[in-house]
Every structure is written in C-alpha cells, then in structure tokens.
Structure 1
Amino acid sequence: MINRYLKDLASLFFPKTCAGCDAPLVHGEKLICTSCWYHLPFTLSHDNAGNLSTGQSASFLYLLGSSRVQRIIHQLKYHNRPEIGTLLGEKYGTVLHEITPFNEADVIVPVPLHPGKLRKRGYNQSAFFAQGLSHSMRKPIVSECLIRHRVTESQTTKNRYERYQNMESAFRLNDAEAVAGKHVLLVDDVLTTGATLEACSTVLLAGGAMKVSAITIAKAL
C-alpha cells in the first residue's frame, strides 16, 4: 500500500511521458500513449513481404522526418530507453506469429553493433527489439553468432551503391553452427537502402544458414 502511494506521488511530480509525443501517460499506458498507437503509420508490409535477394523482409512502421516514429526511434537509440524496442518487438511479434514465412524462422539474430559503439551507447537497440519478438513469437535468439568487426562510415549522405560498399565486409560469422541449416530471422531497427541487411544476410548464408528473412522496426521513406 505504501509502495503504491509512493509510486502515485512520484508520478504526480515526475510523470512518465509518451516516447512519441511527450504527453503524460495515463494509467494503463506503457511507454507509448493510446493516441500515438492509433496514429502510427503501420506498413502492413508483412502481408506482402518484399523480396530481398536472400528472403523476405517486413517493417513494422514507416519512418518520416519530424514524426512520432522518428521521436520513438530517437528515444530508443539515444535516450537510454531500450525497453521501447522490447515493447515494439512484442507488439509486432504478435502479428508475425501468424504470418508466413516469418513464423517459420528457427532463430532470431539481431544486427550487431561494433564493440566501440556498443560501449558508448551501453546497449544494442536491435537486440532489445529481438527480445520482444522472441517473447511473442516464441523463437530463440542467437545474439553472438554475428559480429561487426569493422567500423563503418555514416550512411546518411551515401547513395544505395555507396552504402552497400560501406557495409561490405563489416560483418563476420562467429558461430556458424548456431545458424547452419536454419531459417534465420534477421532483426534491425531501421531499413533504409537495405545495405546492412544484405551484408548480414550474405554472411549468414555463406556460413550455412538455409534462409534469411528480415524484420525492422521502421522503414525510411
């Protein structure tokens, strides 16, 4: 009773706010308010998954500049709120659990960060998204099989071909046995040109993965 009173008192003076619009969250809301959930631009791309050269891909949301999704992604990546990734993974996982080919995956592999960036940020946002997917889809995560061993330049000003060149050879397989003969669900935060997913997929397939499908939180437009 005392703990509940203290929590209510804390929420009065330090209210938790929505990651999408910064409005105070009301009772029953978690991280993202009801209004933002209603207005989020869902892609529904899982209903007609676009082809990668390696398999199928789908994104949960569209990412536009100065939007709710942009603010949510920014909070996830740069404001020490990895739990947002887990929530989004749980939400999307409940959908993908019923969708082929994603529900046929054997393991989930998050796109890794370079160790230097991981130390600086303190966590891999894609790994937390993978945790949510794993919970909803009841699929195991293999988080150490793929590693990022080369620091890449910023992708912001690069075209599609330059981005692919930038990502080429940035990843290597650390544990081929973990993915050998398996359908891998590759997970990242944002899909832009697809260069990162292509580079990771190439490494996974060369290492013996049977198939690679890809899921991201958002797709840039």
Structure 2
Amino acid sequence: MNLWTDIRDFLFPRLCLSCGKKLLQSEDGLCISCFSSLPYTHLGNTSGNEMEKCFWGRFPVVRASSLFYYAKGGDVAQILYAMKYHARKKLCCRMGEYMAGELCDSGFFEGIDYLLPVPLFSSRLRQRGYNQSELLARGISCVTGIPLCTDAVVRSRNNATQTHKSGYARWQNVDRLFLPTPHAANLHDKHILLVDDVLTTGATLVACADALLGVENIKISVLTLAWTR
C-alpha cells in the first residue's frame, strides 16, 4: 500500500493550497507551516462571544463557535474552495476532526445529542457527490462520538448562490429554504449542533434552525469551520 502511495505521490504530487510546497503523507490541504499560521478565532466555548451574538434575536441559540476567520483570497478561502468544488473529501473530514480536537477540552460538545449538517438540495448533492458540511460533521463525530442526524431537515430548493448578494437579499434568498421531515419530531428534548462550512450573514443557518423550532423543547447550537466577521 505504501509503495502505491509513493508512486501516486510521485506521479501526482499533492501540493499545499497556500505555498505550493509538496505535502507530506501526514499533511492534507496545507503544509504544517501554513496550517499553523491560519487566522484562528479563539472563540472556543466562550459564552456570549461575537459569533453567538450574530444569532441573538433570530433564534434561541445555546452556543456558537467557529475555528477560523474567513477572508476573500486567504488560505481559509482556499481550503473552503477545495472542500466544496475540488472533491477534497478527505480534507473535509480532516477539518472536522481538527475542529473537534480544538474544542473538545473546552466543553463545547457537552450535552450535544446530535450533529446536524446543513443539507444540500438533492440535485446539487447528486451533482457534487457529497455534502462538505456532512463530511465535516463526520470528522467531528469520529473524535467526539456524537452521532449524525441527516434525516430531520431537507433543503426545499436549489437556491441561488449567496456569494454576491447583499445582506437583505441573502435573507430573501433563504426564506423557507429548509423544511422539517417527520423524523424531526424525534429530536424533542434534544440538543442539536448545526454544522456548516462557513458563516457569513447567518441567513442559511438561521433558516435551517427555523425549520426545527417547531420541535418540542429542542436546543440548537452552531459550529462552522470559518466565519466572515
């Protein structure tokens, strides 16, 4: 197996998304040097942090955190682009594992019953072949042991990209974007952690949370890989 890995890496070398350096077998996406210089938020499990405040007045969030700050053209943007459009499934899982490793000792996952990745619309899922948020959640689950819930919420349509929209247009774009399924009723009295790749205005995550607010005594927290502050 190592021989084939060596041959593959020789013919198709894996390069750092930031500096272009050839990656070691233990590295994925970024080399250790570039990875260590990423813009960490250091939000951890701080109650009432700035990201958590993004959801105040929108839904009763229990806690919220993100690992990195996002900046257009930065290294985190390169990671997200590779995860989303270059089929870097292993990188998605690795990022999830890293998120969990960074937050485990903080108590952030205490009391969480299920990880609920923000779903893709069915046609986009078929086209892409995977949901990067679900793979992030699987990485988190590997470290924490918290099970995934992928059948309680569905995306009702393939909404237009949020990238170039204003804040108000983003909110219009996600109106009733997610709908609960009959399985959502099983989440009564449960604490759910919504998992997504990046938080911008929060419109998508709030829309996903809205689909669950009819569930009796549900608690909702949020975790993303990156945050556009």
What TM-score do you get using the length of structure 2 for normalisation? 0.88
Contact 2:45–2:108 (Cα < 8 Å) also in 1: no
Q: 2:192 aligns with which of 169, 184, 193?
A: 184
1:74–1:115 Cα change, 3 Å: same
Which position in structure 2 is the counterpart of 1:117?
Answer: 124
Match status 1:149 vs 2:151: no
Contact 1:20–1:69 (Cα < 8 Å) also in 2: no
Q: CA deviation at 1:101?
A: 4.4
Match status 1:212 vs 2:220: yes
Contact 2:64–2:221 (Cα < 8 Å) also in 1: yes
What TM-score do you get using the length of structure 1 for normalisation? 0.91
Q: 1:196 aligns with which of 204, 209, 218?
A: 204
**Letter of the structure 1 residue corresponding to residue 163 of structure 2:** T
Contact 2:141–2:148 (Cα < 8 Å) also in 1: yes
Unaligned runs of 5+ in 1: none
Unaligned runs of 5+ in 2: none
Tell me the number of residue pairs that the alignment of Structure 1 and Structure 2 aligns: 219
Which position in structure 2 is the counterpart of 1:28?
Answer: 26
Contact 1:190–1:219 (Cα < 8 Å) also in 2: yes
Tell me whether 170-179 or 130-139 shows the greater mean CA deviation. Answer: 170-179
Which position in structure 2 is the counterpart of 1:94?
Answer: 101
1:176–1:209 Cα change, 3 Å: farther
Which position in structure 2 is the counterpart of 1:138?
Answer: 145
Tell me whether 169-178 or 193-202 shows the greater mean CA deviation. Answer: 169-178
Q: CA deviation at 1:20?
A: 3.9
Q: Percent identity?
A: 35
Tell me whether 93-102 or 209-218 shows the greater mean CA deviation. Answer: 93-102
1:198–1:209 Cα change, 3 Å: farther
Structure 1 distance, partners of 2:200, 2:13, is 34
Contact 2:100–2:144 (Cα < 8 Å) also in 1: yes
Structure 1 distance, partners of 2:18, 2:111, is 32
Which position in structure 2 is the counterpart of 1:7?
Answer: 5
1:95–1:103 Cα change, 3 Å: farther
Structure 1 distance, partners of 2:14, 2:128, is 22
Structure 2 distance, partners of 1:98, 1:104, is 14
Which position in structure 2 is the counterpart of 1:43?
Answer: 41
Structure 1 distance, partners of 2:179, 2:217, is 13
